[in-house]
């Protein structure tokens, strides 16, 4: 698809319909990408934004003051910040819980509950929520279900086919895949929801620029190859980390015998590349960040390059300390995004970073 780098499009004549008029409404390069993502997720339509946070913000515009939302407590920190410090100030009520616990979710439903918002696996504790169960609860309550599908992508998980109404992506991550641009998506199950999102999107703005749309579409061409390699690497890294005495806990959906692994197998075809670990001291966590050579100490995830981040100081820095620590996101907690490098190099790198 060519890069249609234009803000406006010449009309063929008065009263002659044209596909494109102004790029905030639609742009050929962006539209092609949106149709690709809608097809991958099995949605009625998709909308591409300049970041994942813009996508979440636009999707939240479908709510109004007085509406109640039940959300995963272990969300990307930026989403928590938006919900607690912006949406809540505009009169939207939130309850956060571990949505992998269906009874805990049920107990929070109120007459004004209009939205269930989940990430599965969640960021960074990798809790897996049963999408079908939550979809059923949401629809019985007359509410919508939004699923942030950033971690598994439609290659492994298709939430719309499991009961979600809207899928959200930080396209910055696996869809783009190369850490070279930001992007976000809202994908809707129905045309009716698509028209509501389109109205908000064309009113608010924040759409993905044509060159960035081209980059994300180019990234998507290799999504299956990258996801397979990334997952294979992640499984081996998780296996290795479990043998290290200084690593106290490994959080990875691919680890057999856990409830998360069981639920994930029932709704997704792969485990992805995200691993979190708790090591036995803050000194060791810092030592690993300082010593890695193949991994890089950087925020973000989902690219071809392996990254390690310190959620306490980065992605979850704005979550109040007591709340963060109660959930285990402390100064010994690191999050790994596995890339496509040679697995021997990756494991050797972690080994030398841990042992010095």
Q: Measured between alpha carbons, how far is 125 from 344 in angstroms, rounded to an integer?
A: 26
Helix, strand, coil in percent for the chain, rounding step 5: 40, 15, 45
The 10 Å Cβ neighbour count of residue 252 is 26
Among 100, 150, 153, 157, which residue sits at the site for ligand PLP (rule: CB under 6 A)?
A: 150
* Residues classed as catalytic: 24, 76, 148, 173
Which 180-219 positions form the footprint of ligand PLP (CB under 6 A)?
A: 182, 184
Q: Select from 48-56, 156-164, 230-238, 261-269 the region that touches ligand PLP (CB under 6 A).
A: 48-56
Q: Determine contact, residues 208/77, Cβ cutoff 8 Å.
A: no
- Per rule CB under 6 A, is residue 129 in the interface with ligand PLP? no
The H-or-E segment that residue 49 falls in is: strand 45-49
Q: Measured between alpha carbons, how far is 279 from 281 in angstroms, rounded to an integer?
A: 6
For residue 56, which phi and psi values (nearest 5 degrees)?
-65, -40
The residue written with tokens 């809540």 in the block is: 88
Among 67, 119, 133, 212, which residue sits at the site for ligand PLP (rule: CB under 6 A)?
A: 119
Order across the sheet with 296-297: list the strands. Answer: 247-251, 274-279, 333-337, 307-309, 296-297
Among 123, 157, 306, 337, which residue sits at the site for ligand PLP (rule: CB under 6 A)?
A: 123
Q: Select from 31-39, 47-55, 94-102, 109-117 the region that touches ligand PLP (CB under 6 A).
A: 47-55
What minimum distance in Å lies between the beta carbon of 95 and ligand PLP? 20
What is the total count of residues that contact ligand PLP (CB under 6 A)?
13
- Per rule CB under 6 A, is residue 51 in the interface with ligand PLP? yes
What minimum distance in Å lies between the beta carbon of 9 and ligand PLP? 28
Which 297-336 positions form the footprint of ligand PLP (CB under 6 A)?
A: none
Binding site for ligand PLP (CB under 6 A): 51-53, 76, 78, 119, 123, 148, 150, 170, 172, 182, 184
């Amino acid at each position: 698809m060519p890069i249609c780098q234009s803000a406006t499009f010449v009309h063929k004549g008065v009263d002659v319909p044209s596909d494109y008029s102004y790029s905030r409404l639609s742009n050929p390069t962006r539209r092609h990408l949106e149709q690709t993502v809608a097809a991958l997720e099995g949605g009625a339509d998709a909308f591409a934004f300049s970041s994942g946070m813009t996508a979440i913000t636009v999707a939240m515009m479908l709510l109004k003051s007085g509406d109640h939302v039940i959300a995963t407590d272990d969300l990307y920190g930026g989403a928590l910040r938006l919900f607690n410090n912006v949406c809540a100030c505009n009169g939207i009520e939130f309850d956060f819980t571990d949505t992998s616990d269906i009874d805990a979710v049920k107990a929070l439903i109120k007459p004004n509950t209009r939205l269930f918002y989940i990430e599965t696996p969640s960021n960074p504790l990798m809790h897996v929520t049963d999408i079908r169960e939550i979809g059923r609860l949401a629809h019985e309550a007359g509410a919508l279900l939004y699923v942030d599908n950033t971690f598994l992508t439609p290659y492994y998980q298709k939430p719309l086919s499991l009961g979600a109404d809207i899928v959200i992506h930080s396209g910055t991550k696996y869809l783009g895949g190369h850490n070279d641009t930001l992007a976000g998506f809202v994908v809707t199950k129905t045309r009716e929801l698509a028209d509501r999102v389109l109205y908000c999107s064309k009113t608010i703005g924040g759409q993905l620029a044509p060159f960035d749309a081209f980059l994300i579409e180019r990234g998507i061409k290799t999504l299956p190859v990258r996801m397979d390699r990334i997952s294979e690497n992640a499984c081996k890294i998780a296996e290795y980390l479990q043998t290290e005495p200084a690593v106290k806990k490994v959080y990875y959906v691919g680890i057999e015998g856990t409830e998360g692994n069981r639920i994930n197998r029932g709704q997704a075809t792969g485990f992805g590349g995200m691993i979190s670990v708790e090591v036995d001291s803050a000194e060791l966590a810092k030592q690993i960040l300082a010593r890695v050579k193949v991994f890089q100490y950087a925020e973000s995830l989902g690219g071809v390059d392996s990254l390690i981040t310190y959620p306490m100081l980065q992605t979850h820095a704005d979550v109040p300390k007591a709340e963060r620590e109660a959930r285990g996101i402390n100064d010994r907690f690191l999050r790994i995004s596995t890339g496509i490098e040679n697995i021997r190099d990756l494991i050797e790198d972690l080994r030398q970073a841990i042992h010095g």
